[in-house]
A and B are shown apart, each in its own frame.
Chain A
Amino acid sequence: MSFQKLNGFNDVSFIGLKNYKRLFNVHYYKAIWNSLRYTFWTIFVLVPLPLLLAVLLNNKLTIGKTFFRSVFFLPALTSVIVAGMFFRYAFGSQDATFMNAILGKFGIPARKWLMEANTGMLALVVLCTWRWLGVNIVYFLSGLQNISPELYESAEIDGANAVQKLFYITLPSLRPVTTYVITISVYGGLSMFAESFSFWTARSPEDIGLTLVGYIYSAGFTNNDLGLASAIGVTLIILIMAITAAQLFMTGFFKKEQ
């Protein structure tokens, strides 16, 4: 379909690469930029933080483990739209909204969070973190439980301290889990749409919330430009495959299979 001009599904003509040429526009660049930026930040936050929390939760001394695990996990059960609505409310531009109330405590004037690119991105990443933190903690926890206790015991005999144990035993052993978490984050990040939709619906000011899937949606379903939308889809899948493959190579996923 990406090589065709479509007026609805029945009026179709072949136009070669023209749809791809039309991709070189401001909206498309913005969508790619937003998707990449969002992916980067979600990985930046959602790998180290849950890893740390999982290590803490796995510690014998921590009390109320099940309770904390449930508390972190519960948000993952909420629909994006439902969660998005709460956050949209919390990041609202009135003085009394949650975020502005905090700023007010420090004497900083209220902001229009969802109207600016950086704060809008912040809101998206916060929403994503809130929803997926628990899931990633569960992944890391199950990885941690597969590490045999003998490793730690022998390290203790050799006089390793907690930090050394973390860096020389825990992190290397968790590598497969980390790879998996990063891979699904790349997917999730690049195909993000519903979060942005719940904040801004289809149109955001100056495209600050436009993502690749969002662009597919607006081109294909709002503007009925199905050819262009297909072309975006094709580039998106190439992008995802490329990034995932590169990341798997870098983390040595393929080497281990041999």
Chain B
Amino acid sequence: MRHGINFKLDAGIMSFRNYLLLLTENNALYFRWYFNSVAIALIQTVVSVVLSAGVGYALAVYNFKGRNLVFFLVLIVMMVPVEILLLPLYKIAIGLNIYNTYAGIILPYAVSAYAVFFFRQYATGLPKEFIDAARIDSCGEFRIFVQIMFPLMKPAVGAMTILQAMGSWNAFVWPMIVTGDRLKMTLPVGLSTMITPYGNNYDMLMPGAVLAVIPIAIIFIMKQSAFIDGMTIGGVKG
């Protein structure tokens, strides 16, 4: 869209030399950010999907004391924007000595209230007869979850995996606060350090930004419907 208008693009910005420059400059710091982002997105997505699915399932299936209280708390947490929790989280991160580590970036998002809610809604709709049948066959509760119910929740798991991966890949504010060391930064945070009030390194920023979008765009093209489902299953229930 930008090229449609007679708009003088700086030749330097379009050149592929910038990509090379980006990848080699600063001891390949950009690679490091990329690696951090990939690693964190993978760990965070797996952890949060597994834990949230477990919690959501338990809330939907078991009748235990305080279940409604727990669910109510989940709803409350969903209502509170993460940004407001920055200071308490920061305090906790320092207290736990996980400032400037992967754990510091990942832990606060290890269970997402939204995902718990999402899985609970989904699991509520699953037929309970399977569970009863499995119990009669003397199957343990854990095995019921892993071997019977979790596979049944597959569509929800798929949609949530994609949403979590996307959220983690693009997360910015918290990773920025919890990382001080340039080697530990994720891609968006690293890129943002290249923006300064005094002139910008656009010829490096632009290729950096383009490369950051590519993985998620590829996943989107392959798994379009999972994205759309993820957005709508939990969001709109009428």
Instruction: Report which A residues bind B (CB closer than 8 A).
Output: 1, 9, 66, 69-70, 73-74, 77-82, 85-86, 88-90, 96-98, 101-102, 105, 135, 138-139, 142-143, 146, 176-177, 180, 187, 190-191, 193-194, 197-198, 200-201, 203, 213, 216-217, 220-221, 226, 229-230, 233, 236-237, 240-241, 244
* Contact assessment for A176 and B238 in the assembled complex, using a CB-CB cutoff below 8 Å: yes
CA distance A98 to B84 in the complex (A): 35
**Nearest CB in chain B: distance from A28 CB, A:** 16
Interface code B84-95, partner A: CB below 8 Å = 1, 0 otherwise? Answer: 101110110011
A-B contact pairs, 29 of them (CB 8 A): A1-B87, A70-B224, A78-B212, A78-B213, A78-B216, A79-B213, A81-B189, A81-B192, A86-B209, A98-B5, A98-B7, A101-B8, A139-B235, A139-B236, A142-B232, A142-B236, A177-B238, A191-B82, A200-B197, A201-B192, A213-B86, A216-B87, A220-B86, A220-B87, A220-B90, A226-B87, A230-B87, A237-B84, A240-B81
* Contact assessment for B87 and A193 in the assembled complex, using a CB-CB cutoff below 8 Å: no
* Contact assessment for A85 and B191 in the assembled complex, using a CB-CB cutoff below 8 Å: yes
- Which of B7, B86, B236 touches A96 (beta carbons < 8 Å)? B7
* Contact assessment for B95 and A9 in the assembled complex, using a CB-CB cutoff below 8 Å: yes
**Nearest CB in chain B: distance from A116 CB, A:** 16
Segment from B143-151, B152-160, B170-178 that makes contact with A: B170-178
* Contact assessment for A187 and B169 in the assembled complex, using a CB-CB cutoff below 8 Å: no
* Contact assessment for A80 and B87 in the assembled complex, using a CB-CB cutoff below 8 Å: no
* Contact assessment for B84 and A236 in the assembled complex, using a CB-CB cutoff below 8 Å: yes
Which residues of A are found within 8 Å of B213, using beta-carbon distances?
77-79, 82
CA distance A138 to B105 in the complex (A): 30
CA distance A164 to B83 in the complex (A): 43
Q: Does any Cβ of A come within 8 Å of B228's Cβ?
A: yes
Known contacts A70-B224, A85-B191, A229-B87; is A78 also within 8 Å of B196 by CB?
Answer: no
Instruction: Report which B residues bind A (CB closer than 8 A).
Output: 2, 5-8, 10, 79-84, 86-88, 90-91, 94-95, 166, 169-170, 172-173, 177, 187-189, 191-192, 195-197, 200, 202, 205-206, 209, 212-213, 216-217, 220, 224, 227-228, 231-232, 235-238
* Contact assessment for A81 and B172 in the assembled complex, using a CB-CB cutoff below 8 Å: yes
CA distance A101 to B1 in the complex (A): 13
Main DSSP-derived SS at the A contact region: helix
Known contacts A70-B224, A197-B192; is A216 also within 8 Å of B83 by CB?
Answer: yes
Which residues of A are found within 8 Å of B228, using beta-carbon distances?
69, 73, 138
CA distance A203 to B200 in the complex (A): 15
Main DSSP-derived SS at the B contact region: helix
CA distance A5 to B192 in the complex (A): 31
Which residues of B are found within 8 Å of A233, using beta-carbon distances?
84, 86-87
Which residues of B are found within 8 Å of A187, using beta-carbon distances?
81
Residue in B closest to A2 when the chains form the complex, CB atoms: B87
**Nearest CB in chain A: distance from B168 CB, A:** 11
Which residues of A are found within 8 Å of B235, using beta-carbon distances?
139, 180
